[in-house]
Structure 1
Amino acid sequence: MKKYVLLISLALTVAACSVNPVTGESEFSLLSMDAEVAVGETNYLPTRQAQGGDYRVHPHIQRYINDVGRRLVKVADNAELPYEFVVINNSVPNAWALPGGKIALNRGLLMHLKDESQLAAVLAHEIVHAAARHGASQQTRGALLQLGANALQAGAAGQPFQRVAELATSLGGSAWLAKYSRKDELEADLHGMRYMHRAGYEPVAAVELQQTFLALNGSDKSQKTHWFGELFASHPPSSKRVAANQATARKLGSGSRYTERYERMIAPLKVDALAYRAARDADRALAKNAPDKALALLDQAVSIQPEESIFWRLRGDAWRQLKNLHNAELAYTTAITKNSIFYLNFLARGELRYDQGQTDAALADIQQSYDLLPTERASYYLGIVARDQGQLRRAKMHLQAASAQPSALGKRAQRALINLYLESAPQQLFNVSVLRTEQGSVRVQLQNTAPVALLVERLQIEDPRPGIRWARRIDMAIALPSGASTTFDIGDPVAETMPPAPLLAAKVVVASLVE
């Protein structure tokens, strides 16, 4: 054990020592810069999809945010990263950065900023998180904890460093958006304000944002506190941060606000605000099974902003609740026309088409949705279609993914997956061992490894020795709850016909669900 821990320590010391590109300090990181860039590239699109997709109604807003971001990158550390800046079509105020310079902020946050300098404060802060490799440092700390818990196993494999590095790189996008440490936040504040100053922006804007966030965070009854919950979860405000930012601002001096330019650029968002509120209320009405009310609200939303695909997709949901499937398909198709790179538009139409028996058309839509974002819903339908087409391996893969979720659909996927195994390979749902005892009798131990109760109806026992072809099937009726096991002896005359081999092989060949 000590040997393996020593090997791990040496591997980490040699391979994980790196220099923070922003502070110049030596730090541990289990990811190389190339690995970080790969993490960002891999997770950027699915993370954006999961949070609402890219905002596309007013393309000039995307260009504007990118221009401000590029202005800051020119004066930033680690500027060689492949930075990207995207506005997410989400009303919740939030911003985040993935490793490798992949940065996003929500449409909703733009509504709460007063000028371009405050926008620059948000973007500069996220640039520092990427430039200083805060995401990699955060995941390194988590990976080291797991490494310590599995030191013996990792050492025995001979490649402990590689195992932990693989753990870090395999994490999905959500894992990289967790809460930053206080040190990371203070570092992002300090250097972000320095970038703002170098780019000609007013550093006091960063102080103003922190003061606002701190006030909201301290007001437990404020509706805005809940509204800003995601932002506060990953970027916790504090009085210490406000004080530090004030001191930094005094040292840096003043800069430009660009208030008029900011107001001009986001003016369309303010015009559309009423439409998004109507759509939010329509979504709530649909949750209460009130499609007529939802359609009335969505008529308002579309009259204000007909180019927003969200409104058309919700109209499709409303028509579907009203059983008007023709209008539902038209609405979903319009949503796709407005935004053909958002997974949910394709998924909604694909589900509708599947329910109408249009399997080929449904499969095309759902596969398109899955390619943009592999979801539980898409996995379920892809699994069911693959099962019906006899593609058992593909069906098992998708149903396994869908059944991992603790939801009603996840349970349906689980049941479909188990039925698939029961039909094609029931032995994979059980652990079975059989042997002869010292007294010469045959003893069977049977365990149900499935997550549901199963009824064992037929067991096959065979001689596993090469060149020997002997097998017997035994009918039975043994109900086993999930995880349960049982042991029983096989009596004469079956036992007497079995070969004298000390070890025999056995498998379940017929089983069914316990209803």
Structure 2
Amino acid sequence: MIRTFGLLTFLSIVFLAGCAENPVTGESQFSLISPAQEVEIGKKNYGPYQQQQGGRYIVDPDLTLYVNQIGQKLAKVSDRPNLPYEFVVLNNDVPNAWALPGGKIAVNRGLLWMLEDEAQLAAVLSHEIVHAAAKHGATQMTQATLLGIGVSAAGMASQNSEYGQLISMGAGLGAGLYQARYGRQQELDSDFYGINYMVKAGYDPQAAVELQEKFVELSKGQQSNWMSDLFASHPPSQERVDKNRQKAQSLGKGVRNKELYQAAIKQIRKDRAAYDLNQKARKALADNNINSALALTHQAIKMQGNEALFHITRGQVYMAQKQFDNSAKNFSKAVALNPEYFLGYLGLGLSQLEQKSSTNAKSNLEKSTQLLPTPIAAFHLGELELAAGNRDKAIGYFQFAAQDQGQIGQAAKQQLAQLQPATTAQ
């Protein structure tokens, strides 16, 4: 009884200490995460989270500059204008956008070519700005902490890591820091206050209605896993459409900037057929239709040779064929085109291992790990360190790799059992 009273007293103190007014809604909100911690969480995980989802889109860097310009314009009229907002375009086909705590926001290439004008882009970005400004991510993390749910670091979330499965790695390796599962009220709040931000910045609020109509229509035909994940994080509904329409009707008209937006996305619209071919190549590879996959990658690269993802896919196809000289050439090309994306280095390092080029393999596996730690890179780095007589370094790598749920994890545990049998037995 005394213990129960003590626990309740402790929880009451924690609750009172963690209560604060939500800066967007004005409602009382419980959070164990301070504003400074929000910023640090976003800063720490922004890079790895991007890496897991295709990396930054760099074929046309002006597109990210444009999106960031619109985002900063909206952020200035938000309820937390002093957050260190950043806006990037990710090289990912899924029509999605997300926000980390502290104002770190991303929008996928696959969503941009679905939009019609700048006002619809503003609707997307305003919605995500509210998620950050209203501390929705921080609230989720607080709930996870209270429930005893572990929050994994973004770099440790890759489960698709068995050696043979490198050929299936692509843009979308995991959820990262946490997979946002916004509730009904959080989504409605982000819609409502996001429209306010749009109007303050001069945009037509009707665009927010159109955006939700697009997502409701898209949800009707969902068939793939990534679409399920998309709608789990941002569940569309007719209710959201209706509420947006009701609010928009009470507000004035604003700018649409259709021509400006279409000019900004000109390159990705031009290259969309090539990205579609790359998706077909990846599906053919997953279905073990190797020759078809290779032909499709050839076509995609012919249409847009500056896209690193296409060379990565072709490198994966050559790995499936055990043509490691060719896979190394393609991964090397991908690294040259996009030196800030981990998967090119990872594929190159693994190809070089097969070519018995241990020194080069180690260098590239380390570079991939600096961008995004993965169990497969850690395991092979552990092997290389062990061969070099660096037992402690090897153990560190194997301990990381052992967190994997597949073959890599099992192999790492076997190595640890040999290197530290007493610890493993415990």
Q: When the two structures are superposed, what TM-score results if normalisation uses the length of structure 2?
A: 0.90
- What are the within-5 Å matches in structure 2 for residues 9-408 of structure 1? 9-146=11-148, 174-217=176-219, 219=220, 222-223=221-222, 228-408=227-407
**Structure 1 range deviating more: 227-236 or 28-37:** 227-236
Deviations 1:120-149 (A, max 9, x none): 1000000000011111112222222339xx
Contact 2:375–2:409, Cα closer than 8 Å, also in 1: yes
Give me the whole-angstrom Cα distance separating, in 2, the residues matched to 1:370 and 1:254.
49
Residue number in structure 1 paired with 2:158: none
Query: How many Å apart are 1:419 and its aligned residue?
Result: 2.6
Equivalent of 1:427, from 412, 422, 425?
422
Query: How many Å apart are 1:391 and its aligned residue?
Result: 1.9
Query: How many Å apart are 1:183 and its aligned residue?
Result: 1.3
Query: How many Å apart are 1:224 and its aligned residue?
Result: 6.7
Instruction: Report the AA paired with residue 190 of structure 2.
Output: A
Instruction: Report the AA paired with residue 413 of structure 2.
Output: Q
Shift in alpha-carbon separation, 1:170–1:87, aligned structure 2, 3 A: closer
Deviations 1:262-287 (A, max 9, x none): 11111211111111111112222333
Shift in alpha-carbon separation, 1:226–1:389, aligned structure 2, 3 A: closer
Paired residue secondary structure (1:213): helix
Deviations 1:133-173 (A, max 9, x none): 111112222222339xxxxxxxxxxxxxxxxxxx7797877
Deviations 1:258-317 (A, max 9, x none): 111111111211111111111112222333444433232122111111110011122222
Give me the whole-angstrom Cα distance separating, in 2, the residues matched to 1:399 and 1:168.
21
Q: Name stretches of at least 5 consecutive residues in structure 2 with no aligned partner.
A: 156-174
Give me the whole-angstrom Cα distance separating, in 1, the residues matched to 2:310 and 2:87.
25
Shift in alpha-carbon separation, 1:216–1:277, aligned structure 2, 3 A: closer
Give me the whole-angstrom Cα distance separating, in 1, the residues matched to 2:224 and 2:208.
19
Give me the whole-angstrom Cα distance separating, in 2, the residues matched to 1:56 and 1:198.
31
Deviations 1:439-465 (A, max 9, x none): xxxxxxxxxx5xxxxxxxxxxxxxxxx
Contact 1:202–1:255, Cα closer than 8 Å, also in 2: yes
Instruction: Report the AA paired with residue 27 of structure 1.
Output: Q
Give me the whole-angstrom Cα distance separating, in 2, the residues matched to 1:320 and 1:391.
29
Paired residue secondary structure (1:2): helix
Give me the whole-angstrom Cα distance separating, in 1, the residues matched to 2:301 and 2:201.
39
Give me the whole-angstrom Cα distance separating, in 1, the residues matched to 2:77 and 2:115.
23
Deviations 1:182-221 (A, max 9, x none): 111111001100100111111111111212222333x2xx
Shift in alpha-carbon separation, 1:84–1:247, aligned structure 2, 3 A: same
Contact 1:94–1:228, Cα closer than 8 Å, also in 2: no
CA RMSD of aligned residues (A): 2.0
Paired residue secondary structure (1:104): strand
Contact 2:152–2:177, Cα closer than 8 Å, also in 1: no
Contact 2:52–2:176, Cα closer than 8 Å, also in 1: no
Give me the whole-angstrom Cα distance separating, in 2, the residues matched to 1:397 and 1:79.
42
Give me the whole-angstrom Cα distance separating, in 1, the residues matched to 2:46 and 2:378.
20
Residue number in structure 2 paired with 1:497: none
Give me the whole-angstrom Cα distance separating, in 2, the residues matched to 1:175 and 1:428.
29
Give me the whole-angstrom Cα distance separating, in 2, the residues matched to 1:168 and 1:334.
35
Q: Name stretches of at least 5 consecutive residues in structure 1 with no aligned partner.
A: 148-166, 431-448, 450-515
Higher relative contact order (CA 8 A, sep 6+): 2
Contact 2:222–2:228, Cα closer than 8 Å, also in 1: no
Query: How many Å apart are 1:236 and its aligned residue?
Result: 0.8
Deviations 1:454-498 (A, max 9, x none): xxxxxxxxxxxxxxxxxxxxxxxxxxxxxxxxxxxxxxxxxxxxx
Asked which structure has the greater CA Rg, the reply is 1
More helix as a share of residues = 2
Identity value in percent: 43
Shift in alpha-carbon separation, 1:248–1:101, aligned structure 2, 3 A: same
Instruction: Report the AA paired with residue 183 of structure 2.
Output: S
Query: How many Å apart are 1:323 and its aligned residue?
Result: 3.8
Paired residue secondary structure (1:90): coil
Contact 2:152–2:178, Cα closer than 8 Å, also in 1: no
Give me the whole-angstrom Cα distance separating, in 2, the residues matched to 1:228 and 1:429.
40
Give me the whole-angstrom Cα distance separating, in 2, the residues matched to 1:44 and 1:72.
20
Give me the whole-angstrom Cα distance separating, in 2, the residues matched to 1:188 and 1:282.
37
Instruction: Report the AA paired with residue 365 of structure 1.
Output: N
**Structure 1 range deviating more: 52-61 or 312-321:** 312-321
Shift in alpha-carbon separation, 1:226–1:286, aligned structure 2, 3 A: closer
Shift in alpha-carbon separation, 1:429–1:322, aligned structure 2, 3 A: closer
**Structure 1 range deviating more: 388-397 or 57-66:** 388-397
Give me the whole-angstrom Cα distance separating, in 2, the residues matched to 1:72 and 1:304.
35
Query: How many Å apart are 1:19 and its aligned residue?
Result: 1.7
Give me the whole-angstrom Cα distance separating, in 2, the residues matched to 1:40 and 1:104.
12
Instruction: Report the AA paired with residue 344 of structure 2.
Output: N
More strand as a share of residues = 1
Deviations 1:71-109 (A, max 9, x none): 111211101000000111110111100000000011101
Query: How many Å apart are 1:175 and its aligned residue?
Result: 4.4
Query: How many Å apart are 1:351 and its aligned residue?
Result: 0.6
Give me the whole-angstrom Cα distance separating, in 2, the residues matched to 1:169 and 1:8.
26
